[in-house]
Amino acid sequence: MADHFDAVFIGAGHNALACALHLSARGWSVGVFEQAAEPGGAVKSGDYTLPGFRHDWAAMNLSLFAGSAFMKTHGAELTKHGLGFVPVNRPFASAFPDGSWCGVSTDLAETTANIARHSPEDAQIWGRLLADFPTRAEAIFGLLGSPMRARSLGSFLFTTLRKQGLAGTMDLGRFLLQSPRDWLGQTFRSPKVQAMLGAWGMHLDYAPDIAGGGLFPYLEGMAGQAFGMVLGQGGADTVTRALVAAIRARGGVVECNAPVARIIRSAGSATGIELIDGRKIAANKAVIAGTSPSALAALTGAITPKFDRAMADFTHAPGTMMIHLAMDSLPDWAAGEALKTHAYVHLAPSLDQMARTYQQARAGLLPDEPILVVGQPTVFDPSRAPAGKHVLWVQVRMAPGTILGDAKGAITATNWAEAAEPFAERALDILERYAPGTRAKILARHVVSPAALEADNPNLVGGDQICGSHHLSQHFMFRPARGHADGTTPVKGLYLTGAAVWPGAGTGAGSGFLLARSLAGN
């Protein structure tokens, strides 16, 4: 193996791999070094319960990757290396304690009927939102795909003003500042429709009352209606496997079980890395760290007081627990058989409960009624389980990284080694209420606590799957800190990438692709 590359990467998350592939396609030599036994970070899959049952470790929804600018550029190459997608026409639904439900389908008539059961007025509003979506989406996706630099933001603002006028631009700005509760309450009448959409805010650390979070229920609702959802064929790791294969086919190196001990600096520049085993790898042009901001100091030592403080103060979201279930059959939802046809079923009955759950987790308490995201991938991709069997992907939101107590007063353990099983039982009790008999269908289970998520991937601090809160003070030009949303650092040749860097979490490979284009000049 070469001991020098144009670009050396610390970590093999999908952003780092996307960056490496784009640079490789532009003629750079690349070496990627990952501390774990396999690449992918949170985007990986495996038989975590029984042989033949394929579970996604953390990320399941690949819609952002499938629709990304990176995919448009490199999709054909990745497809040649085995990338495969499965389309989903019923992306999500919510079940409610009274036995009712509401869901979104790519069939507008079906979605409208689902919403109309709860509010005919909301069904009409949904149609108007969808009709306006292309115009509003152009501006929103233009912002979300833009580098957070003064020139780029100026260009975005000028374009928006020209197309939407001052009033339209101000309306957009107000919308971007609204909390989920504000936007949902001002838009829809039914609390159940509000809850169905509001559950999406919890995926990105946007509880109902957090400013700036209204955008995400809107985008997920409209995108789910317009495009559906995309899963990975055979597992989300189809992305990781294709990226690694494409990099290696271009002569790049991806090495696992290769922890990095430090970043080598010389004359104010990053010039390479030293691995734990003592090997030194030189970087001719760039060292790119796919790490959490707080982990950078251990690799670099002090840089500047202002930058070091910003990295140390980077705020993480509450954690999550993953419960992987091998199932004899799908849950029998009390709300009806129709729920067996949706990729996600949210068990998040009200905005008030979501807000309470979030505040409990932020206070270090195990929530008394956590929010559940129940993924049913085998409905659309039966290859993930033996014939007639299924897997469930249960994401428990939220959970504290450090346990200070139990909001319900029932779990006395304050460490995850002892609290994981009883908290998982609490989550399964909730699932059982919404789908009686589910426990009897479980063939095997694998519980991954917030502590276990961090042990597997140090970037998921406290089990934070999005590698940092997306609140307004740590988003847009402030992600991960003002002046560094483009991944640059005060050290020449040293860059950050990953979910902690703008545009943040999700599978869209945005930070990696933006950085690669900046470095390569296109």
Angle between helices 305-312 and 293-300 (to 10 degrees): 130
* pLDDT(509) > 90: yes
CA distance 229 to 343: 8
Residues near 272 by Cβ (< 8 Å), separated by ≥ 6?
4, 8, 263, 264, 280, 281, 282, 283, 287
Residues in CB range of 49: below 8 A, 6 or more apart: 55, 324, 325, 326, 391, 443, 444, 445, 446
Strand pairing partners for 391?
326
Tell me what percent of the residues of the chain surpass a pLDDT of 90: 91
Half-sphere exposure in the Cβ direction for 348 (13 Å, CA): 35
- SS3 assignment for 367-411: CCCCEEEEECHHHCCHHHCCCCCEEEEEEEEEECCCCCEECCCCC
Tokens of 19: 């960056």
- The CATH superfamily of 4-44+59-86+235-314+467-520 is FAD/NAD(P)-binding domain (3.50.50.60)
pLDDT tens digit string along 452-466? 999 999 999 999 999
Length of the chain: 522
- Torsional class of 281: left (φ above 0), alpha (ψ -120 to 50), beta (otherwise): beta
Ordered by start, the domain boundaries in the chain are 4-44+59-86+235-314+467-520, 108-219, 318-456
Which of 253, 259, 289, 302 shows the shortest CA–CA distance to 494? 289
The DSSP result for 439-460, as a single string, is HHHEEEEEEE-HHHHHHH-TTS
Check: CB of residue 497 under 8 Å from CB of residue 484.
no
Residues in Cβ contact with 481 at an 8 Å cutoff, skipping those fewer than 6 apart? 293, 307, 310, 311, 314
Instruction: Give me the pLDDT at residue 257, please.
Output: 98
pLDDT at 468: 95
Strands 4-10 and 30-33: parallel
pLDDT per residue as tens digits for the range 203-245: 989 999 999 999 999 999 999 999 999 999 999 999 999 999 9
CA distances from 267 to 299, 317, 493 (A): 17, 36, 11
Torsions phi, psi for 17 (to 5 deg): -65, -40
Q: Convert the pLDDT of each residue in 17-59 to its tens digit.
A: 999 999 999 999 999 999 999 999 999 999 999 999 999 999 9
Domains 4-44+59-86+235-314+467-520 and 318-456 share a fold: no
CATH architecture of 318-456: Alpha-Beta Complex (3.90)
Q: Would you say residue 318 has pLDDT above 90? A: yes
Is 129's pLDDT higher than 60? yes
Per the CB < 8 A criterion, the answer to whether 105 and 53 are in contact is no
342 neighbors 376 (Cβ within 8 angstroms): yes
Interatomic CA distance for residues 102 and 25, integer angstroms:
45
Measure the CA–CA gap between 483 and 488, rounded to whole angstroms: 8
Give the pLDDT score at 1.
Answer: 52
pLDDT at 414 over 80: yes
Show Cβ contacts of residue 26 under 8 Å, excluding neighbours closer than 6 positions.
516, 520, 521, 522
Q: How far apart, in whole angstroms, are the C-alpha atoms of residue 347 and residue 376?
A: 13
> H or E element: which one contains 419?
helix 416-434
